[in-house]
Amino acid sequence: MDISSARDILVQEARELLANMEAALLEIETEGQSAERINAIFRAAHTIKGSAGLFGLDMIVGFTHVMESVLDKVRSGVIAIDPELVALLLRSGDYLARLIDAIEANHPEDDPDPQGKQVLLDSLQGYLGTKETVSAGVPARVAEQQGHVEPDGNDEAVSNDNWHLSLRFGPDVLRNGMDPLSFIQYLAGLGEIVFLHTVTEAIPPAEKMDAEVCYLGFEIDLRADVDKKRLDDVFEFVREDSKIRILPPHAKVTEYIELIESLPEAESEQKLGELLVAGGTLTESELRQVLEMQGAASTASGQTPRLGELLIQEHMVQAPVVAAALVKQRQGEEKRSAESRIIKVEAAKLDQLINLVGELVIACAGARILADRSRVITLSESLGEVGQLVGQIRDRSLDLRMIPIGDVFQRFPRVVRDVSMELGKKIDLVITGAETELDKSMVEKLSDPLTHIVRNAIDHGIESVEVREAAGKPAAGKVHLHAYHDSGCIVIEILDDGKGLDVGRIRNKAIERGLLSPEAIISDSEIFKFIFVAGFSTAEKVTNLSGRGVGMEVVKRAIDQLRGDIDIESNPGQGTTLHIRLPLTLAIINGFQVGVGKAVFVVPLDMVDECVEFSAEAGHDYTNLRGQVLPFVRLGELFGIEGTPGARENIVVVKYAGQRFGIVIDVLLGEAQTVIKPLSKLFSQVKGISGSSILGSGDVALILDVPALMQQAQRKVQALPKTALTI
């Protein structure tokens, strides 16, 4: 593992820690503070600072040092955590996230917001009641994280290629006949002490001092050609009573990683601590000490912390070295265990795999056609088995792209919190169905449209506290995010218990803009869809959140690009629900092929309910299906396909969004795996078609847009008088 790989690990871990920090802060704000939550925030900041220090990322180290100082006083009860401090820590986490983004972009020295950083630092230091010197982003006392100290008034640069020793001798070392000065003098004999700083914070007032108690600590930079064990042995007689931390020079990080990677495979089967000892980065005494800490923590909390995390938190071993040891350890585990494990794959490689699988599906279909034409039974049977295997490969490949939608939902507690505070409203967020899976490419594109919807729900939908209480509602409004699978689609619902949409106001605005004639009679659901028109807004004033008529247009466009559909339900005074229906995947589906004339169309198989013989009366666009009205569309008429209908037409009954309608076709061709190919921009405005596919014969089949066809069928029936629907 090289340094760049180790930095990638740092970026990933830092983002996870920031997410944990944000979650804990939001829990404190909504549910109240607890020692566990405060400690979780402190550990996150502390670990980020320690890991960043190992790479010399001074801006992160300096900023998190001030954060950690504030959090330490919160832990000790000196500072009370209030809403203002929670908000400040959340903004501080946002700034750290931008610094992490800069590291990922390979610009670790760039400060994304110097002025904003200074405002945050001033606010944090205001809680401390003192100004901590921050030079180039590094506070004066961060030796235990960085391996060097830059004392006040000393302009001499301290090299990062020195050993750093952080010594905190026990209070009884003098009584036991041990002189701390003798240890320092011995260190000077091993090399050159290039810097020494005496830590005096523990010294009490003179009247409380005990001449036999050691109150001093030391931060030392040592230039010496020795190994860690040699330095560790110096403190053998005082280790039990003291806290000794020895950080190797930064230059040795790569050397340690190379040593660990060169260990024989047999040794890679050892435990993590044994691997680090074998690689020279951890001593036996340090290993015993951290194992004792692990056991004590397990006894106290009932949960056993990970050894690697403890080593990094206690600054015994650098994060990249621990990561390299874990990789080496996994190599041994792979030989001993067949347990499933998670690996990370570049999205581009996964897309290439899906494309190749799609081509394999097409090629297999073509071979199957040729085999059927040859009338060689054994060949057809063999290709049938190949087709089954290809189908399994297709399903497993698509599963690789499926991830929980909770990856998007987890961002919204912060969104709801910020927007509600800006508007002065109380909002409760409820999330269900976060484990529902859909295609990764769709998850990435859902964040912005869902954010627009949630912000609009809070701004336009949820009333103020006073209005809600006057209406007999709870003071806190509710926004509910819910996801589930239905008929081969994923459905995302965004519900609020606000005032609902004003149908009359939307209708009048549509008439005013010339989108609707005053005489038109349309349903409420059709009126609601005007809010997706570009520039359409009923807001009386423009705010930072809404009022320009842009947000909902962006939502509709994003959902259309995902081949999805969105509709709205709203009840005055009760709230509004938006239903977003999306296909599970954008790559390969099970399709049902139908023929009209010489054209072939594909209906997503998950939406096909049944197939029946055509039995409608002449001139009617609906039929009687077991006592119920079933509207239908004729594909031949819809797309202008030449030729006369077949002697025996059929109706494919399709189910979508809890409703059914029919598609009239000439012939049923059966099921087939369908590789979805996007339409060119030339056909982007064609209604009723969502994509295309290549058949085994080489011909092109069009994939039907079921939601669009359903709307056409429903409009035809709604336009008829009710007496005409009597069946």
Any bridge partners for residue 670, and if so which? 593
What average pLDDT does the segment 223-235 reach?
83
588-725 CATH fold? SH3 type barrels. (2.30.30)
Please state, in angstroms and as integers, the Cα–Cα distance from residue 577 to each residue in 362, 495, 509, 714, following that order. Answer: 40, 4, 21, 21
Going by C-beta distance under 8 Å and a sequence separation of 6 or more, which residues neighbour residue 107?
Answer: none
Q: How far apart are CA 326 and CA 332, in angstroms?
A: 10
Greater pLDDT, 382 or 539? 382
Task: Give one DSSP letter per residue of 75-110, joined into a string.
Answer: HTTSS---HHHHHHHHHHHHHHHHHHHHHHTT-TT-
Q: What is the number of other CB atoms lying within 10 angstroms of the CB of residue 535? A: 9
Predicted confidence (pLDDT) per residue in 116-130, tens digit: 889 999 899 888 875
Going by C-beta distance under 8 Å and a sequence separation of 6 or more, which residues neighbour residue 50?
Answer: 145, 312, 313, 315, 319
Q: By the 8 A CB rule, do 86 and 70 touch?
A: no
Q: Which of 591, 563, 587, 567 is nearest to 578 (CA)?
A: 567
Secondary structure element (H or E) that encloses residue 117, with its range: helix 114-128
Neighbour-count burial of 638, counting CB atoms closer than 10 A to its CB (0-12 exposed, 13-18 middle, 19+ buried): middle
Residue 721 tokens read as 């008088």
Q: Which of 93, 138, 151, 92 is nearest to 119 (CA)?
A: 92
What pLDDT score was predicted for residue 583? 81
Mean pLDDT, the chain, integer: 80
Residue 445 tokens read as 């594109």
Q: How far apart are CA 720 and CA 521, in angstroms?
A: 12
Given a cut of 70, is residue 342 above it in pLDDT? no
Phi, psi of 376 (to 5 degrees): -95, 110
Q: How far apart are CA 58 and CA 49, in angstroms?
A: 9
Residue with tokens 């020195």: 162
- pTM value is 0.59
Q: By the 8 A CB rule, do 225 and 255 touch?
A: no
What pLDDT score was predicted for residue 319? 75
Going by C-beta distance under 8 Å and a sequence separation of 6 or more, which residues neighbour residue 328?
Answer: 260, 261, 263, 268, 275
Q: What is the number of other CB atoms lying within 10 angstroms of the CB of residue 713? A: 21
Ranked by mean pLDDT, the top range of 341-355, 386-400, 674-688 is 386-400
What pLDDT score was predicted for residue 545? 53
Q: How far apart are CA 242 and CA 235, in angstroms?
A: 9
| Alpha helices, DSSP H, located in 401-523 | 406-409, 412-423, 440-456, 465-470, 503-512
Q: How far apart are CA 505 and CA 509, in angstroms?
A: 6
Range list of β-strands (E), 172-212: 192-199
Residue 141 tokens read as 């006392």
Q: How far apart are CA 65 and CA 57, in angstroms?
A: 12
Residue 354 tokens read as 């899906």
Residue 543 tokens read as 């705010």
Q: How far apart are CA 162 and CA 194, in angstroms?
A: 8
Q: Which of 563, 554, 603, 569 is nearest to 581 (CA)?
A: 563
Given a cut of 50, is residue 549 above it in pLDDT? no
Q: By the 8 A CB rule, do 577 and 494 touch?
A: yes
Neighbour-count burial of 80, counting CB atoms closer than 10 A to its CB (0-12 exposed, 13-18 middle, 19+ buried): exposed
Q: By the 8 A CB rule, do 496 and 610 touch?
A: no
Residue 727 tokens read as 């069946």
Q: Which of 515, 528, 517, 584 is nearest to 555 (CA)?
A: 528
Neighbour-count burial of 192, counting CB atoms closer than 10 A to its CB (0-12 exposed, 13-18 middle, 19+ buried): exposed
Predicted confidence (pLDDT) per residue in 150-163, tens digit: 333 333 333 456 78
pLDDT band with cut points at 50, 70 and 90 for residue 263: low
What pLDDT score was predicted for residue 482? 94
Predicted confidence (pLDDT) per residue in 70-92, tens digit: 888 888 788 888 889 999 999 99
Ranked by mean pLDDT, the top range of 61-75, 262-276, 334-348, 681-695 is 61-75
Residue with tokens 């800069």: 102
Residue 140 tokens read as 């004066």
Angle at 403 between CA 451 and CA 51, to 5 degrees: 80
pLDDT band with cut points at 50, 70 and 90 for residue 340: very low
Q: By the 8 A CB rule, do 580 and 559 touch?
A: yes
Q: How far apart are CA 719 and CA 162, in angstroms?
A: 84
pLDDT band with cut points at 50, 70 and 90 for residue 688: confident
Please state, in angstroms and as integers, the Cα–Cα distance from residue 9 to each residue in 14, 55, 199, 436, following that order. Answer: 8, 12, 33, 28
What pLDDT score was predicted for residue 110? 83
What pLDDT score was predicted for residue 135? 37
Task: Give one DSSP letter per residue of 256-316, joined into a string.
Answer: HHHHHHTS-TTGGGS-HHHHHHHTTSS-HHHHHHHHHHHHHHHHHHSS---HHHHHHHTTS
What pLDDT score was predicted for residue 375? 85
Given a cut of 70, is residue 599 above it in pLDDT? yes
Superfamily of domain 141-249 in the CATH hierarchy: ACT domain (3.30.70.260)
Given a cut of 90, is residue 649 above it in pLDDT? no
Any bridge partners for residue 285, and if so which? none
Residue 259 tokens read as 């040593």
What average pLDDT does the segment 598-612 reach?
89
Greater pLDDT, 144 or 485? 485
Q: How far apart are CA 566 and CA 88, in angstroms?
A: 37
What average pLDDT does the segment 675-702 reach?
79
pLDDT band with cut points at 50, 70 and 90 for residue 142: very low
Domain spanning 404-583, CATH architecture: 2-Layer Sandwich (3.30)
User: Letter for the amino acid at 473?
Assistant: K
Tell me, letter by letter, the H, E, C secondary structure of 304-320: CCCHHHHHHHCCCCCHH
Any bridge partners for residue 593, and if so which? 602, 670
Radius of gyration of the chain (CA): 34
Ranked by mean pLDDT, the top range of 361-365, 474-478, 510-514 is 474-478
Predicted confidence (pLDDT) per residue in 177-212, tens digit: 788 888 888 888 888 888 888 888 888 888 888 988
Residue 170 tokens read as 């026990």
Q: Work out the end-to-end distance of the chain between its first and last CA atoms, rounded to an integer number of angstroms.
A: 74
Given a cut of 90, is residue 249 above it in pLDDT? no
Neighbour-count burial of 545, counting CB atoms closer than 10 A to its CB (0-12 exposed, 13-18 middle, 19+ buried): middle
Q: Which of 699, 696, 692 is nearest to 678 (CA)?
A: 692
Q: How many residues does the chain have?
A: 727
